[in-house]
Amino acid sequence: MMLPFAARSTASEVEVEQLIAQAQVQTRTIDDDLERVTLHLAALAPALRGSVVDAVGSVEAATSEARAALARAADADAAADGTAATALGDAQVALDAASAQLRYVTDLAHQHDADVAGALERLQAHIDELRGETSRAGS
């Protein structure tokens, strides 16, 4: 795997490679969490269901953007021309927005359904981990 930010020392390159690998695993975990959330949608009132579906859509889009950015971060050419750093920054913004929306919906779900709230909390924890890993990979 080619490493981004070629000016870094070998130790830093290894750390970046590890961060990218961890973040890629995290995106797969988020996919599993999204499936769990969808299993509970039918039990929700229509208004809350719509809010959860919107939040899930935001998380899916942000996770997809993070996946693409991580692929760029692993590409030497994208790292050299700066597109990897830009992609990681854009992914970070998308993850931050999805996280805020998810946090809001989780608060609403606590008032209506403990199972959904629990699934959303798990998803929130994994999104927050991905946000951190993506941020560290970009710095």
Q: Where are the domains of the chain?
A: 10-138
pLDDT tens, 36-60? 888 888 888 899 999 999 999 999 9
Q: Which CATH architecture has domain 10-138?
A: Up-down Bundle (1.20)
Provide the pLDDT for residue 108: 93
Give pLDDT tens digits for 74-94.
777 877 888 888 998 999 999
Give the pLDDT score at 26: 76
Report the pLDDT value the prediction gives residue 16, as an integer from 0 to 100.
Answer: 65
What's the confidence (pLDDT) of residue 9? 41
Q: Report how far apart, in Å, the C-alpha atoms of 81 and of each of 55, 85, 93, 134 are.
A: 33, 9, 21, 19
| DSSP 8-state code for residue 6 | T
